[in-house]
Structure 1
Amino acid sequence: MTKCHIAYLACTAALAGVGLGAAPPAAHPVTHVVHPGQSIQKAVDAAAPGDTVLVRPGTYRESVTVHTDRVTLRGTSPRTVLRPAAVTGKKAGTCAADGNGVCVTGTKDRKVKGVTVASLTVSGFTRNGVYATATDGLTVRDVTAEKNGVWGIAAEASVRTVFRGNTARDNGDAGLFLANSVKEEQGATETKGTLVKGNRLEGNRIGVTVRRLRDLTVARNRMTGNCAAVFVVGDENKPKAGHVTVRDNRITRNNKSCPKTARLDALQGSGIVLTGAEDSVVTRNTITDNVGSSPLSGGIVLFKSFVGTTSERNRISDNVLHGNSPADLVVTDTGKGNTFERNSCKASRPAGLC
């Protein structure tokens, strides 16, 4: 090859490189660090998809809303604390004005995807510590949600949610709450594999509420000191709630007393309650010393829903139950196809289920 040819090829390659390399390199994820006295919301607003907002230890008097896909909002420990600020001048419908701590908010037409909230404390909000709506792939992990007026950590109209390793205590209603919709009457929706795993739930009205959902797992959680540990709730709408797996949980002494509400009878001493649910599995749970005199009291309870919907084809198997009152297994539901197999227990209502 002559020098002329070599020069020609080099020039051609350089020109091709100019054409192919015109696009700018992809931006790298950025970590936005927030120190006490600075605004978390400003850092979240500045974050692009893939970025992390890292909040240093301290107390932050604000509420935070995340709208951007794949943003991680992360504290450094439970000593990163969000508490309510004054809401004077806050627009109605905002996270702060609605009494929430952290909001992850999509829309009916566009779910916000891949957001993570981790390693912080949300405390003292009049409604919810963490509240998510219209999300896909939300993860909430290692969050402490305490003394919030309604729910500790909640998600509605969301799919592929993961609640893992959180502590929810002393919240006004459920420590963890998952539902299809809190405002509309409609049939149960598919969660596409939502997972509630490894959480600690103490002193709430209900530890975990799963309302009008399907395809969801509640596993390896510890629940004590609530009025009730787990509620799987359906109603008269179609499709029914169901295909929920409740497994490997430790549920003990959920004997706090909670008064009757417009939607639910008084609660005390309820382990796992299924009402209006179908095709669900309750297995390998350890359920002990849950004692009360409510119609919903007992270790594992199948209860006909207050709108008359029965629970059907649920499998209750391989659970260890003792010290629950009025019984370890309680069935007041007339639904068909529910089965009880290999449970270690002493007393049931009606007799013969153990």
Structure 2
Amino acid sequence: MTKRHIALLLSAAALVGSGVAAAPPISVSVPLVHLVRSGQSIQKAVDAARPGDTVLLMPGTYHQSVKVTTPGLTLRGTSQGTTVLKPATTKPTDDCGSRGNGICVVGTKAERLEDVTVSNLTVTGFPRAGLVAVGTEGLTVRHVSAERNGLWGLAEERSRRSEYRENLARGNGDAGVFLANTITAEQGAVDTGGTVVADNRLEDNRIGVTVRRLRDLTVAGNHVTGNCAGVFVVGDENKPRAGALTVRGNLVAQNNKYCAKTARLPFLQGSGIVLTGAEDTEVRHNTVLGNSGTSPLSGGIVLFRSFVGAANERNRVHDNALQDNAPADLVDQESAKRGNTFRQNSCRASKPAGLC
């Protein structure tokens, strides 16, 4: 028996002798860091992690996908430039990769997955999305580069209180950032509880950021350039209506790339900020420059009646700086009776005239 064991026994005996019972041991769960090196399985480390743990990806290129279902988990690389996820070199058999995605953060319809963080890495070349979140609460995505993915850079549905900050989404087939109530079903807008898309660079995508059928969300301080369209706020006739959003403090410049028409939209080119079928949305303090095209959706800030006939109502376009947008800096295709207001914007041309 060591001196340490003898000391512990004497201490315990003294406590008992004095009538003071020894306190039971306290079980403390200490968060762990699971290191993954290039060539190792990210999924194995994620599956072994417990809530609160961090899976740290060391520098290297990982040809694999990963699905996160553990609450409170942090999946982190060493930096966007040194930790890179790409598609598997053989046909993927995992659930996330087989759907064409890089990182999947997934809850259930019955219970949202809470407080997951993904940061400091690159996801590139995946057929569908670099990162997709479904059924999450309090997701944080920060310092992630999502480049040249087939559909979306960063995407989510059925999620609340997300934060997308200081990311780069570039060269993706559809939206750099795509947020929706549901991706496939026709349903009314969902209240996000304050989701934020802020301080990101959104470049050379079809659309910089798309917000579809959502409420209570902020798009702020983003640098949106070189896309076919900058910011899309999309609603329709479903109830509740999309809206009650804020689009503020963004630089939306020269989104003049050409994108062919789809089943849902005409060709896109030269659209800065577009509201279609939205209500009670505030568009303010944005700088909107040089967005020029001949699409029905072209212009600096555009209010466009949705293709299913849903009007924009009670939106406020105030205190924006617009220049060199065509066919006009401000375009309002709605009736004056819809309650949309344009005030204190710095601009030269509008359709109809008199909005500047």
Same fold (TM over 0.5): yes
| Distance change (3 Å), C-alpha of 1:8 and 1:44 | closer
1:304-325 superposed Cα distances (whole Å, 9 cap, x missing partner): 0000000100000000000000
Root mean square deviation of aligned Cα: 1.4
Tell me the equivalent position of 1:228: 229
SS at match of 1:351: coil
Tell me the equivalent position of 1:12: 19
Give the TM-score normalised by structure 1: 0.94
Q: Is the 8 A contact 1:87 1:97 kept in 2?
A: no
Gaps of 5+ in 1: 1-6
Tell me the equivalent position of 2:88: 85
Give the one of 7, 16, 30 matched to 2:32. Answer: 30
Deviation at 1:36, TM superposition (A): 1.0
Deviation at 1:341, TM superposition (A): 0.5
Matched, 1:271 2:272: yes
Whole-angstrom CA distance in 1 between matches of 2:121 and 2:304: 37
1:245-269 superposed Cα distances (whole Å, 9 cap, x missing partner): 0000001100000000001111000
Whole-angstrom CA distance in 2 between matches of 1:313 and 1:251: 23
Whole-angstrom CA distance in 1 between matches of 2:200 and 2:126: 20
Tell me the equivalent position of 1:3: none
Q: Is the 8 A contact 1:269 1:297 kept in 2?
A: yes
| Distance change (3 Å), C-alpha of 1:264 and 1:10 | farther
One-letter identity of the residue aligned with 1:293: T
Tell me the equivalent position of 2:348: 346
Deviation at 1:333, TM superposition (A): 2.2
Whole-angstrom CA distance in 2 between matches of 1:87 and 1:133: 26
SS at match of 1:292: coil
Tell me the equivalent position of 2:150: 149
Whole-angstrom CA distance in 2 between matches of 1:42 and 1:80: 17
1:282-325 superposed Cα distances (whole Å, 9 cap, x missing partner): 00000000000000000000000000000100000000000000
Whole-angstrom CA distance in 2 between matches of 1:10 and 1:333: 86
- Identical residues among aligned pairs (%): 61
| Distance change (3 Å), C-alpha of 1:353 and 1:8 | closer
SS at match of 1:129: strand
1:178-209 superposed Cα distances (whole Å, 9 cap, x missing partner): 00001211100000000000000000000000
Give the TM-score normalised by structure 2: 0.94
SS at match of 1:258: coil
Gaps of 5+ in 2: 1-13
Matched, 1:100 2:101: yes
Tell me the equivalent position of 1:205: 206
One-letter identity of the residue aligned with 1:157: R
* 1:53-92 paired onto structure 2 within 5 Å: 53-78=55-80, 79-86=82-89, 88=91, 90=93
SS at match of 1:241: coil
Tell me the equivalent position of 1:135: 136
One-letter identity of the residue aligned with 1:317: H
| Distance change (3 Å), C-alpha of 1:28 and 1:350 | same
SS at match of 1:119: strand
Whole-angstrom CA distance in 1 between matches of 2:213 and 2:324: 30
* 1:313-332 paired onto structure 2 within 5 Å: 313-332=314-333
Matched, 1:195 2:190: no
Number of aligned pairs?
Answer: 342
Whole-angstrom CA distance in 2 between matches of 1:8 and 1:60: 56
| Distance change (3 Å), C-alpha of 1:98 and 1:87 | farther
SS at match of 1:95: helix
Whole-angstrom CA distance in 2 between matches of 1:71 and 1:87: 28
One-letter identity of the residue aligned with 1:12: G
Deviation at 1:12, TM superposition (A): 2.9
| Distance change (3 Å), C-alpha of 1:89 and 1:159 | closer
